Amino acid sequence: METKAATTLFESLSSGWRLEAFRLLVRQGPEGMVAGDIAAALDLPPSGLSFHLKALSHAGLVTVEQEGRFQRYRANLSLMRDLIAYLTEECCAGHPERCLDLATAPPLAVCPPPEKTRA
Amino acid sequence: METKAATTLFESLSSGWRLEAFRLLVRQGPEGMVAGDIAAALDLPPSGLSFHLKALSHAGLVTVEQEGRFQRYRANLSLMRDLIAYLTEECCAGHPERCLDLATAPPLAVCPPPEKTRA
DNA sequence: AAAAGATTTCAACAAGGCTTGAAATGATCC
DNA sequence: GGATCATTTCAAGCCTTGTTGAAATCTTTT
């Protein structure tokens, strides 16, 4: 991922409405959610929601699919994974030992704790 | 990390100058860099750099330490780790199987493959 | 084809961010 | 103390973003 793409993603997530909408879609999983329901859940006027969803979809963080007269939105988890990868790389560039600190930290401790690299 | 804090961090990283400055500081490691050198490296007028560094330090992504008549800036990697943790959690909320995809992806594959997901 | 529903687009305005250069601050050196 | 250097602050102007409500678009229903 290039720097430009990263800033676009960060910009997308820098709005409270957009971050909330994305989190909501992540929680909904593959089922996604139609625009009206998102607007209701967020208590945001439809035109306002549309504005923010457009930004998210332009950045690629959400996908849209027409479903009858509804628009179904889904979170694009693979792009989010790419973003996490980018951040992880930026965090330890030239300093591998920092990566290890990262790997042993709680949030990423989905794998058993290494025996040696205790910080 | 709360949503509000996350949006502040995303906003900090949504500017090309700020993301570049942060990446530069990450690459510099614990040594950090003084303001003048950052400005020179980024080819950005001093007052402009100061504006962006202020945003980064306000968000907590960088720290400042006075050193003689210089200001030495350093990247705050632990906050970045927290941000990565936040994103990772948001990505798999209610969908643990997505977390595993995440954990086995290249950037996070610093630890041996899990046999059973520990909480 | 008309009506009703879901969503987007548009225009207008308010508000905040970015850039630039000059002035101010704070620290060192002589 | 005065000069010099590094950096920040300030103000002005510009540009972009966010909000709102009304109108437009597109789809289904009857």
Q: Is residue A86 part of a domain?
A: no
Quote the pLDDT of residue A95.
Answer: 54
Tell me, yes or no, if A117 comes closer than 8 A to chain B by beta carbon: no
Residue the block writes with tokens 């970045």:
B80
pLDDT for B20-66, tens place per residue? 999 999 999 999 999 999 999 999 999 999 999 999 999 999 999 99
Instruction: Pick the more confident residue, A71 or B112.
Output: A71
Question: Which residue minimizes Cα–C1' distance to C10?
Answer: A47
Claim to verify: residue B46 and residue B73 sit in the same structural domain: yes
Claim to verify: residue B39 and residue B74 sit in the same structural domain: yes
- Which among A37, B81, A62 is positioned nearest to B89, based on CA atoms? B81
Domain that holds residue B99: 93-119
Claim to verify: residue A37 and residue A74 sit in the same structural domain: yes
Claim to verify: residue A66 and residue A101 sit in the same structural domain: no
> Closest nucleotide to residue A35 (Cα to C1')?
C7
Q: What distance in Å separates residue A1's CA from the closest CA in chain B?
A: 13
Residue the block writes with tokens 């008549």:
B69
Claim to verify: residue A60 and residue A7 sit in the same structural domain: yes
- In angstroms, rounded to a whole number, what is the distance separating the alpha carbons of residues A34 and B102? 26
Claim to verify: residue A75 and residue A99 sit in the same structural domain: no
Q: Is residue B109 part of a domain?
A: yes
CB-CB: which of A7, A23, A85 is closest to B15? A7
Quote the pLDDT of residue A56.
Answer: 98
Q: Do A7 and B27 touch (CB under 8 A)?
A: no
Claim to verify: residue A114 and residue A64 sit in the same structural domain: no
pLDDT for B91-106, tens place per residue? 766 455 565 554 444 4
pLDDT for A77-114, tens place per residue? 999 989 988 998 887 664 555 655 544 444 433 333 33
- In angstroms, rounded to a whole number, what is the distance separating the alpha carbons of residues B3 and B7? 6
Tell me, yes or no, if B93 comes closer than 8 A to chain A by beta carbon: yes
Can you read off the two tokens belonging to residue B47?
């007052």
pLDDT for B105-114, tens place per residue? 444 333 333 3
The pTM of the full predicted model, rounded to 2 decimals, is 0.83
Q: Which chain A residues 2-31 have CB under 7 A to strand D?
A: 11, 14-15, 17
